[in-house]
Amino acid sequence: MSADVDDGASEVVSLLRAILGHDGVIEDGDVLVAYQRDQAGFVSAGTPLAAVFPRSTAEVAAVVKLAHQRRIPLVPRGAGSGLAGGANAVDGCLVLVLTRMNAILAIDSVEHSARVQPGVINADLSRRVREEGLWYPPDPASWEFSTIGGNLATNAGGLCCVKYGVTRDWVQNLEVVLGDGRTVTVGRQTVKGVAGYDLVGLFVGSEGTLGIITEATLRLRPIPPARTTIVATFATLGAASEAIASVLAVSSPALLEIIDATTIAAIERWKRMGLDTDAAALLLVQSDLPGELVAAEATRIERACSDAGADLVVSSTDPEEAEMLLAARRFAFPALEQLGDTLLDDIAVPRGRLTAMIEAVGDIASRYGLTIGTFGHAGDGNLHPTIVYDRADPAQVERAAAAFDDIVQAALSLGGTVTGEHGVGLLKRDHLVQELGPVGVSLQRSIKAALDPHHILNPGKVFEGQDSP
């Protein structure tokens, strides 16, 4: 590093400390390693100039303004639990860590809303609003440690998406710092309103490339009634697919999950739960209708599974027993992790093509000689094929990368999408270009240029490449 560059970096760090205080800036290289990347494999990470820890919107705006003036890249980061490389550093950037902005600012039991900073942990918000008799539906698998800001950035989903939608569906209002340091509030405080473009929808899911979300007003709803849980096993994927279609035709389940044979075997090998390892698929379904309606819906779900050819159908209304039944789904990914290194995918296809997608994953596993377990949200067509490989074996790493690409291509060929809830980040940037097409990419780049003309906000993520403007 030249003396001029070193002096410039030192000046920037001094200016940052003037904004954030000494403890609000980290420049020690050994410590910065912890802030270089998220949980995604197979993607690179650069070396940041520093990590900064603002505590308020005003401090975020001051940091962004400085970065804008000096053309310094900014990479926003929450808990670092992302799975697509969306929080990976680029060389010379500032990693903008938002975890100290972790206040639940207000809960309104009349408006059914909560106003929060981005560093609030999803589970902490859920527990806090539950004290008021309210519920925040988005529940990604990482809810115990992922932040609301990260959930907003990726438009995170969860187990109950089939009935309650994704994060974007529960956002009413946002405060955002733009790429030049200006602050804007988008959305509204009213339950209903249609004035102007849907800028809330634009910022949610933009992975920090259009602005830094510093505050969000989230919609809540009353806590739903106790759920009835149904578990069904099937000898063939075709029968499971028929059951999924039938369940959706006769009910509005709060949860509809699928686990394939490979994953069932991994769970049973690890946890000895008494699962049927001869089953081709296991479905988990929940109903949360009120009063006597829940029993009627559960009966319709059970009948739909039985008529489709289920080998076993078990249901329970007891919360503890239901949690035990759901444990198999919660164990899916960690069970596959017991088998070796893993590369977790995230694709979605039309629900009528789930069988074709799972069968395609099986063919890909055979072709590359790899174990690939598939589980996910059958109710909305979102699957998580998980490739097991040995990262110490270069040949397996190469095959795993090729299998990952083939899985995404299979999803696209079936009319699907490259990501259902994990985001694009770095991992699926090239695949997104294929999904959107040249006109779609041009449109998105135009939006990026309008909101972040110097391309300092999370550069290189989502759709940008070497040919970015």
**What pLDDT, in 10s, does the model give residues 270-319?**
999 999 999 999 999 999 999 999 999 999 999 999 999 999 999 999 88
Give me the pLDDT at residue 469, please. Answer: 34
| Residue 446: pLDDT over 70 | yes
Q: Is residue 25 part of a domain?
A: yes
pLDDT category of residue 143 using cuts at 50, 70 and 90: confident
What digits encode the pLDDT tens for the residues 71-115? 999 999 999 999 999 999 999 999 999 999 999 999 999 999 999
Given 222, 250, 273, the domain boundary residue is: 222
| Helix locations, 180-318, DSSP H | 199-203, 237-250, 261-271, 293-307
Which whole-number Å values give the CA distances from 267 to 213, 314, 329, 381, 425, in the listed order?
38, 19, 9, 22, 30
Q: In 3D, which of 40, 49, 35 has the Cα closest to residue 429?
A: 40
- Does 359 share its domain with 399? yes
- Does 57 share its domain with 90? yes
pLDDT category of residue 465 using cuts at 50, 70 and 90: low
Give me the pLDDT at residue 3, please. Answer: 47
Give me the pLDDT at residue 463, please. Answer: 80
% of the chain beyond a pLDDT of 90: 91
CB 297 within 8 A of CB 357: no
- Does 203 share its domain with 230? no
Q: Is residue 285 part of a domain?
A: yes
Give me the pLDDT at residue 464, please. Answer: 66
* CATH code for the domain in which residue 280 is found: 3.30.70.2190
Q: Which domain holds residue 316?
A: 225-329
- Does 199 share its domain with 145? yes
| Residue 231: pLDDT over 60 | yes
Tell me which of 2-6, 53-57, 70-74, 246-250 is least confident: 2-6
The number of folded domains in the chain is 5
- Does 432 share its domain with 452? yes
Given 48, 78, 97, the domain boundary residue is: 97
CA distance 403 to 268: 25
Residues 14-23 have a mean pLDDT of 97
Q: Is residue 410 part of a domain?
A: yes
The interaxial angle of helices 3-20 and 57-70, nearest 10 deg, is 160
Q: Is residue 400 part of a domain?
A: yes
| Residue 7: pLDDT over 70 | no
- Does 356 share its domain with 261? no
CB 227 within 8 A of CB 295: no
Residues 244-271 have a mean pLDDT of 97
| Residue 1: pLDDT over 60 | no
- Predicted model pTM: 0.93
- Does 114 share its domain with 214? yes
Given 179, 197, 222, the domain boundary residue is: 222
Q: Is residue 335 part of a domain?
A: no
Q: Is residue 334 part of a domain?
A: no
What digits encode the pLDDT tens for the residues 403-418? 999 999 999 999 999 9
3-state secondary structure of 176: strand
* CATH code for the domain in which residue 385 is found: 3.30.70.2740
